[in-house]
Amino acid sequence: MSSILTNNSAMVALQTLKGINKNLSGVQSEISTGKSVASAKDNSAVWAISKVMESDVNGFKAISDSLALGESTVAVARNAAESITDLLTEMKGKIVAAQEDNVDRAKINDDVTALRDQIDSVVSAAQFNGLNLVDGSTASADILSSLDRDSTGNVSSSSITVTAQDLSTGGYTAISGFEGTNTDGVAADNRDTFGFSLDANGGTDDSGQIEFDTLANAGYSAGDSVSLRLGETEVTYTITQADIDATSTNDVIALGVKSAIEASDADVSVDYDAANSGRLVVTNEDGTDGLSVSGQFTNAGSGGLGALSAIDVSSGAGATAALGSIESLIDTSITAASAFGSAEGRINTQSEFISSLTDSLKSGIGAMVDADMEEASARLQALQVQQQLGTQSLSIANQSPQALLSLFR
């Protein structure tokens, strides 16, 4: 039965053409975006998985940066340890030369002292972005190395811990050494470091006290030093063996520090309080500005290479003792260099793994959401042909009612 109200052929042709156009639009979207799953409506499950993996990729990029920073930090420490080993080896040659009686031990001792100062310089400079792994200021450093996602989707981080190696020739020690207060009775922070403020000259608290403990309580040794900061002026006094041998050690050290302060350009006056053994009274002579005073006791033997401070080859006995100490010091620096080298190798291996893992994740994401361009090209041509045929079919179907006019002629 033919009808001028219902054209079934045209409706079928129209629906077919709509389907072709829809598929053609999808293929064109794949070609323009390069993705078969460009949004959640394309395939919600695959899109969700790809987005989680993309977030992990971004996280691993940050981890790569962290590993690069950590590797550089450890490399600086390793180079420092290797340089110190070379300097100690050179020092050993000087010490061996000092074993001979017919040499100028004083000049050799000057060379040894210069090498020790160079080691101090290397230790101080061996920092990267403020982190120093060889000066004893830190015990370890954690380097972010991975993100771990379990089967439930929970994410945790992993780190590589690099143990610091103390190669300093001195360090801070918590022994009872000295303390300071201002006249209002503000106590020191503790017995090996202190800080207080003085008013301008004429103020209520324009003077303060620095008090040195006795040898029995403090445990002073040759090479220990007292570092003071008086405003912008720094003053250092190193304790000698003569100080240790003195009858009243705290008096001798106090007087030595007094001389060091007076030789500086600090705008203060220093008086020795004879009634109180080991006490100095520091008065701010600036009539306008206040003054901050701080102090630190440094123990020469507390660093990993602390025994260097006791090496003195100016005498035969000292040269003999130094020969026994230097081997242990070289072993310490070699061990430190080896530890840093091992840690650096581990970081490098992890960095390469993270790089490969990131590439694998990117490939996996691409396999899920990237369009197959060869297939898309073939489908596009096929759909374009179908579109042309569909259009012609719809045109033919729309002309069918015209045949009914011949029945009414």
CA angle 81, 87, 90 (to 5 degrees): 145
Which DSSP string do the residues of 112-161 spell out, in sequence order?
HHHHHHHHHHHHHH-EETTEESSSSS-SEEEEEEEEEE-TTS-EEEEEEE
pLDDT of residue 300: 64
For residue 395, pLDDT over 90 is answered with no
Instruction: Answer with the residue of higher pLDDT: 45 or 33.
Output: 45
Average pLDDT over residues 344-356: 94
Complete domains list, the chain, with CATH:
48-169+315-361 (1.20.1330.10), 171-301 (no CATH)
Tell me the three state secondary structure of residue 337: helix
Alpha carbon distances (Å) from 35 to 29, 48, 56, 289, 350: 8, 14, 20, 71, 32
Tell me the three state secondary structure of residue 226: strand
Contacts of 200 (CB under 8 A, 6+ apart): 206, 284, 286, 287, 288, 289, 290, 291
Identify the weakest region by mean pLDDT among 23-27, 176-180, 200-204, 302-306. Answer: 176-180
Question: Residue 190's pLDDT band (boundaries 50, 70, 90)?
Answer: very low
For residue 74, pLDDT over 90 is answered with yes
For residue 41, pLDDT over 90 is answered with no
- Residue-level length of the chain: 409
For residue 349, pLDDT over 80 is answered with yes
Question: Residue 397's pLDDT band (boundaries 50, 70, 90)?
Answer: confident
pLDDT of residue 173: 37
Average pLDDT over residues 358-365: 90
Question: Residue 152's pLDDT band (boundaries 50, 70, 90)?
Answer: confident
For residue 178, pLDDT over 80 is answered with no
Q: Rounded mean pLDDT of the chain?
A: 83
pLDDT of residue 214: 76
For residue 7, pLDDT over 60 is answered with yes
Question: Residue 188's pLDDT band (boundaries 50, 70, 90)?
Answer: very low
Instruction: Answer with the residue of higher pLDDT: 405 or 291.
Output: 291
Number of H helices, E strands in the chain: 8, 13
For residue 179, pLDDT over 60 is answered with no
pLDDT of residue 176: 36
